[in-house]
């Protein structure tokens, strides 16, 4: 789900955006001043930021600069000012788009889609798309697994499981979490599936399937992908 951070100090604008965005399946985070916008962006990891320039505490370009210091998340600026100089300074500070109030909701949504589409195709996502271990490599973007140079074929379920573990590499992933993500919310208790498919993955990927080095079991808790 796409996460949108809406930064505006006018409640009615925030409300209108929240309603429209939520109705279209976006997840909406909000902040009402510059300082909380920066922390919310760091905390909520939004996919796109809608930023009003007329904030009470910070200048708009400072907020943009504060974001651009560590993230390349798309920023769409809202502003009541139609001055060309305002637009130029905001865009040059690092904003991706500039919409003047009053704005049409259709247009804003279209510009938001465009911004999200752009950033989706560029692999700037913080995580690396290819995970490598001593015995095999997982390419998350291409959905391919290689072992000793040769490609290993995985079934959809096997891949879903491996992908979930690889995206959380190093961390423990609970069985319930795995089951709900790969099989669906109704399968939260079918822990037998995990045993069957972990065995299959180990047989395909581990040098010694009975003594796994990368696909580890944490008894009673879940599984962990270790590099």
Chain residues binding a second copy by CB under 8 A are 72, 84-85, 87-88, 91-92, 94-98, 104, 106-107, 109-111, 113-114, 117-118, 121-125, 141-144, 155-156, 159, 170-172, 218-221, 224
H-only helix segments in the chain: 11-23, 34-44, 60-68, 84-93, 105-121, 156-167, 175-182, 191-205
Report the partner that residue 84 touches, choosing among DNA, a second copy, none (CB closer than 5 to 8 A by kind). a second copy
- DSSP 8-state secondary structure symbol assigned to residue 22: H
Report the partner that residue 96 touches, choosing among DNA, a second copy, none (CB closer than 5 to 8 A by kind). a second copy
Q: How far is CA 162 from CA 62, 167, 176, 222, in A?
A: 42, 8, 15, 13
Contact set with DNA (CB under 7 A): 153, 155-158, 175, 183, 190-199, 202-203, 209-210, 217, 219-221
Helix, strand, coil percentages in the chain from 3-state DSSP, rounded to 5:
45, 20, 35
Pick between residue 18 and residue 144 the one whose CB is nearest to a second copy. 144
Report the partner that residue 192 touches, choosing among DNA, a second copy, none (CB closer than 5 to 8 A by kind). DNA
Pick between residue 106 and residue 208 the one whose CB is nearest to DNA. 208
Nearest alpha carbon to residue 41 among 12, 64, 13, 10:
64
């Amino acid at each position: 789900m796409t996460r949108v951070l809406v930064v505006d100090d006018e409640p009615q604008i925030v409300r209108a955006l929240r309603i429209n965005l939520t109705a279209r399946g976006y997840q909406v985070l909000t902040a009402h001043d510059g300082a909380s916008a920066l922390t919310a962006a760091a905390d909520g990891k939004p996919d796109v930021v809608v930023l009003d320039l007329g904030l009470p505490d910070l200048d708009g370009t400072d907020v943009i600069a504060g974001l651009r210091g560590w993230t390349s998340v798309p920023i769409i600026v809202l502003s009541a000012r139609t001055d060309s100089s305002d637009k130029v300074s905001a865009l040059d500070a690092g904003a991706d788009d500039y919409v003047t109030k009053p704005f049409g909701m259709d247009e804003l949504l279209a510009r938001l889609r465009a911004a999200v589409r752009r950033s989706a195709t560029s692999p700037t996502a913080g995580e690396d798309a290819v995970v490598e271990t001593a015995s095999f490599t997982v390419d998350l973007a291409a959905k391919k697994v290689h072992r000793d140079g040769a490609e290993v074929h995985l079934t959809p379920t096997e891949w879903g499981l491996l992908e979930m573990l690889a995206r959380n590499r190093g961390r423990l992933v609970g069985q319930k979490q795995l089951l709900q993500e790969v099989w669906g919310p109704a399968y939260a208790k079918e822990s037998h599936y995990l045993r069957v498919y972990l065995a299959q993955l180990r047989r395909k990927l581990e040098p010694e399937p009975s003594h796994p080095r990368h696909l580890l079991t944490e008894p009673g808790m879940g599984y962990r992908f270790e590099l």
